[in-house]
Amino acid sequence: MGELEQAVLDALWDADGPSSGREVHACLEGRDLAYTTVMTVLDRLVAKDVVVRERDGRAFRYAPRLGRAAMTAELMREALEATGADRDQALVSFVGEASAEDLAALRRALADLT
């Protein structure tokens, strides 16, 4: 995902609920973006199944399909699936480069599952 797509997704995550294109555009006002650019990004995120949209009168309201944590987990699963036979090695490499805080969080998560 590109930097602008991530910024739009962050704006949607930070919102209190589904947002209009105008509301997302307003959240990104410091970026000097055209409204049509924001709408194009929203349409691309819908096409990628990252964002869902619902009709609201003549316009649409947009919301992330998943929360931040669930989206991160999905991306991690997709990356692991793409490694094929090297899945174990990818996990070992990831854990080997993890920070002490990340390792502690991983230990807590594993403990919660058992």
Q: Where are the domains of the chain?
A: 3-64, 68-113
CA distances from 9 to 49, 55, 67, 101 (A): 12, 19, 10, 26
User: How much is the pLDDT for 107?
Assistant: 92
User: How much is the pLDDT for 88?
Assistant: 84
Q: Mean pLDDT for each consecutive 10-residue tract of the chain (114 residues)? A: 94 96 94 95 97 96 96 88 81 90 92 89
**Residues present in the chain in total:** 114
* Architecture of the domain whose range is 3-64: Orthogonal Bundle (1.10)
Q: What is the pTM of this model?
A: 0.79
Q: Which residues neighbour 98 within 8 Å (Cβ) at sequence distance 6 or greater?
A: 106
